Amino acid sequence: MRAVERAMSDIRRGAAVVLSGSEGAAILAQAAEAVTPENLQAIEEAGRRATELVITARRASVLRLAASGLRSVAVSSVSNDRLTPELVYALADPLSTGALPAPSSLQVRELAPHSCEQAAVLLAKIGRLLPAAIVSAITDPTATDVRAWAARHDFLFVDAGDIFQYDHMQARTLRAVSEARVPLLGAESARIIAFRPFDGGLEHLAVLLGDPRPPDAVLTRLHSECFTGDLLGSLRCDCGDQLRGAIGEISRAGGGVLLYLAQEGRGIGLVNKLRAYVLQDDGFDTLDANGQLGFDDDERVYLPAAQMLRQLGFARVRLLTNNPAKVNALMRLGITVEERVPHAFPTNRHNEGYLRTKATKSGHIL
Ligand SMILES: Nc1nc2c(ncn2[C@@H]2O[C@H](COP(=O)(O)OP(=O)(O)OP(=O)(O)O)[C@@H](O)[C@H]2O)c(=O)[nH]1
Ligand SMILES: [Zn+2]
């Protein structure tokens, strides 16, 4: 997993990495978001092959480029065989002001589900970048041993399989690493336990309140991080109210737990969430804005939450949520949800549309 973390940090600074897949496939890949004329030229020269831009099925379908709309695609230019940074931005970033090329000027190749190219996009997602990557198949005849070739050219080498396994491994290896008493307003007995994956990746927190009494079902809130709502009191969402509301309700009930999950923006990261907000100001709803950026409606996984609950000894919960998907996800992961406890708060004029979309399009019970 360490190789994935390193590769993520390389692509975040605009460097290319070597991804190796099954049956000898290998590519050079870098993040579309970090493209420059220089690194585009560098990846072309190193791979000795024209570059392609890989985008998700969702982005391809927004751009009306995909035949099926089900698979990620690799896009290249028909006319001069070269991508330019302007073309990359126009295709990968819905906020780009560059003109979109005519579809007839583009060549579009659908990708196999577990291809290296797909791993490249996943790596960009793990790095909380736009879900798009520039790739170049490695055709250098001296690259028979790809790992050695990567070392010789000073590129990090990563197994695509490790990237596909990354989320799962992160969750599976979560361990409590510190615990402290943190009295909260209205919940003075609170303790915070920090969980970290074995490889030092994303940390999640458990806020223990009062005196939870397993094996009785424990009053539980899974709260996805929301910097804007939780910390700044943004009125665009209901997160701040839900966070403080849950702490109050659990505390008044005598005990329970709030898991504060590092899943900002339903898993797309803060920077992408801010992009989604710009798109929402242009008229897209919260789900379509994710789609414009190339993300699924909701990118969250709940294995970290289930693992933390298990380690805390809370196998049965009463879940504070309006989102049936959270209930189903926990049940699938072996946590018994005995009851869904509604967790709605008054709306304001800035979040009415957002909450209406959740109710009408993503199944929230509001
Ligand atoms: N991508 C995206 N994320 C958003 C937007 N508004 C809020 N969020 C994020 O959505 C998450 C909040 O969702 P939650 O409140 O945990 O979950 P929920 O699915 O609404 O379900 P419950 O609150 O449990 O009913 C946080 O990570 C926010 O940062 C938005 O417009 N776009
Ligand atoms: Zn929020």
20 CA distance to ligand 2 middle (Å): 38
Tell me, what's the pLDDT at 336? 98
Percent of the chain with pLDDT strictly greater than 70: 99
Q: Is the same domain home to 150 and 8?
A: yes
Q: How many domains does the chain have?
A: 2
Instruction: Give nearest CA residue, ligand 1 atom 16.
Output: 224
The domain that holds 350 is classified in CATH as 3.40.50.10990
Q: What SS3 state is found at 8?
A: helix
Q: Give the pair of three-digit tokens for residue 231.
A: 């910390």
Number of H-type helices and E-type strands within the chain: 14, 14
Phi, psi angles (nearest 5°) of residue 30: -145, 165
CA angle 287, 293, 297 (to 5 degrees): 30
Judged by average pLDDT, the poorest of 7-16, 96-105, 137-146, 342-351 is 137-146
Q: pLDDT class for 228, splitting at 50, 70, 90?
A: very high
Do 56 and 131 fall within a single domain? Answer: yes
Of residues 140 and 12, more confidence is placed in 12
Give me Rg for the CA atoms of the chain: 22
Query: Could you give the angle at which helices 160-172 and 116-126 cross, rounded to 10 degrees?
Result: 40
Ligand 1 pocket mutation, candidates 219, 236, 243, 273, criterion most atoms within 8 A of CB: 273
Instruction: For residues 235 and 102, state if they share a domain.
Output: no
- Distance CA(297)–CA(287), nearest Å, equals 5
- 326 and 200 within one domain: yes
Give the distance (Å) from ligand 1 centre to CA of residue 355: 10
Q: Select from 165, 190, 214 the last residue of a domain.
A: 165
Q: What is the mean pLDDT of residues 198-220?
A: 95
- Yes or no: say if 271 and 124 are a contact pair by the CB < 8 Å rule: no
Catalytic annotation on 296?
no
CATH of the domain at 49: 3.90.870.10
Q: Do residues 40 and 141 share a domain? A: yes
Which pLDDT does position 80 carry in this prediction? 62
pLDDT value of position 58: 96
Between the two ends of the chain, the Cα-to-Cα distance in Å is 40
Give domain status of residue 71, yes or no.
yes
- Domain-embedded: residue 292: no
Mean pLDDT, the chain, integer:
95
Please indicate, yes or no, whether residues 134 and 177 belong to a single structural domain of this protein: no
Question: What pLDDT was estimated at residue 329?
Answer: 98
pLDDT, position 48: 73
pLDDT the model gives residue 297: 97
- Are 182 and 329 part of one and the same domain? yes
Residues 98 and 152 in one domain: yes
Q: How many CA atoms lie within 13 A of 177 on its CB side?
A: 15
Pairwise pLDDT comparison (245 vs 45), residue with the higher score: 245
For range 71-83, the mean pLDDT: 84
Q: 178 and 158 share a domain?
A: no
- Report residue 154's pLDDT band, with 50, 70 and 90 as the boundaries: very high
Q: Which helix (H) or strand (E) holds 61?
A: helix 57-62
- What's the mean pLDDT in 276-302? 97
Q: What is the dihedral of CA 104, 107, 110, 115, to 10 degrees?
A: -160
pLDDT by residue (tens digit) across 9-63? 999 999 999 999 988 889 999 999 999 999 999 998 887 778 999 999 999 999 9
| Active-site annotation holds for 300 | yes
What is the per-residue pLDDT across 259-287, written as a single tens digit (0 to 9) for each?
A: 999 999 999 999 999 999 999 999 999 99
* Same domain flag for 231 and 147: no
Residue 142 has pLDDT above 80, yes or no: no
Domain containing 101 equals: 2-165
Return the residue whose CA atom lies nearest to atom 30 of ligand 1.
286
Which residues form ligand 1's pocket by a CB distance below 6 Å? 223-226, 237, 239, 242, 263-266, 268, 273, 276, 286, 290, 321-323, 326, 343, 358, 364
* Confidence at 140, pLDDT banded by 50, 70, 90: confident
Task: Output the pLDDT for position 242.
Answer: 98
Mean pLDDT of 65-76: 86
206 in the same domain as 70: no
| Whole-number Å distance between alpha carbons of 267 and 119 | 17
Residue 217 pLDDT level (bands cut at 50, 70, 90):
very high
Q: Is 200 left (phi over 0), alpha (psi -120 to 50) or beta?
A: left
Q: What pLDDT digit, counting tens, does each position of 107-125 carry?
A: 999 999 999 999 999 999 9
* Minimal-distance CA residue to ligand 1 atom 2: 265
Say if residue 126 is in the same domain as residue 210: no
